[in-house]
Amino acid sequence: MAEKKKTDDRFKKFGTVNFTSLTKVNDFVDYLEQGKVMGTRCKDCGIMFFPPRADCCQCLTGNMEWFEVSGAGTLVTYSKLKYAPVGFEEDLPYCIAVLDYGSYKIFGRIAKDIPDEEITIGMAMKTVTNTLPNGQLNYVFTR
Ligand SMILES: [Zn+2]
């Protein structure tokens, strides 16, 4: 009898609430475990994606490579949440935000240790890996 194929469900480890355990970008989680936040770049047209995509929406190819999100992005916008979707209630209040890295933008959360009064549009922020209290992995924006 053939050996049962092992399911690659590494993506289950990502995020507060995870709706997707199987993706074509499961390596994203391995990189998070190594302390790296990674996106993908199309080798044909150069477009960069975050969150990472396995296929390019311009070329319709899967000719992609990983790149590390490094250096600082610029805080474009943010919003403090006092109400949250199901599953995120325990995290309240938290700030969702967008960082602009020039060739790509990243949607995520601002680290909880940054006081509200120190958050300003245009400030430089870094994207770093983070481990949630329940052991799940994600990434946050910090100074
Ligand atoms: Zn492309």
Residue-wise pLDDT for 70-125, tens only, equals 999 999 999 999 998 888 888 889 999 999 999 999 999 999 999 999 999 999 99
pLDDT of residue 1: 56
Query: Is the pLDDT confidence value at 2 over 70?
Result: no
DSSP codes joined into one string, the chain: -PPPPPP--GGGGBSSS-S-S--TTTHHHHHHHTT--EEEEETTT--EESS--SS-TTT----EEEEE--SEEEEEEEEEESS--TT-GGG-SEEEEEEE-SS-EEEEEE-TTS-GGG--TT-EEEEEEEE-TTS-EEEEEE-
Q: How far apart are the first and last CA of the chain?
A: 55
What average pLDDT does range 31-43 have in this prediction?
Answer: 97
Give the lowest-confidence range in 6-10, 18-22, 43-47: 18-22
Residue-wise pLDDT for 48-65, tens only, equals 999 999 999 999 999 999
Q: How confident is the model at residue 14 (pLDDT cuts 50, 70, 90)?
A: confident
Distance 102 CA to ligand 1 centre (A): 17
Distance 43 CA to ligand 1 centre (A): 7
Place of tokens 């355990």: 21
Distance 70 CA to ligand 1 centre (A): 22
The residues placing their C-beta within 5 Å of ligand 1, an ion, are 42, 44-45, 56, 58-59
Which residue, 102, 93, 98, is CA-closest to 127? 98
Distance 104 CA to ligand 1 centre (A): 14
pLDDT of residue 36: 97
Q: Are 96 and 107 in contact (CB under 8 A)?
A: yes
Distance 59 CA to ligand 1 centre (A): 4
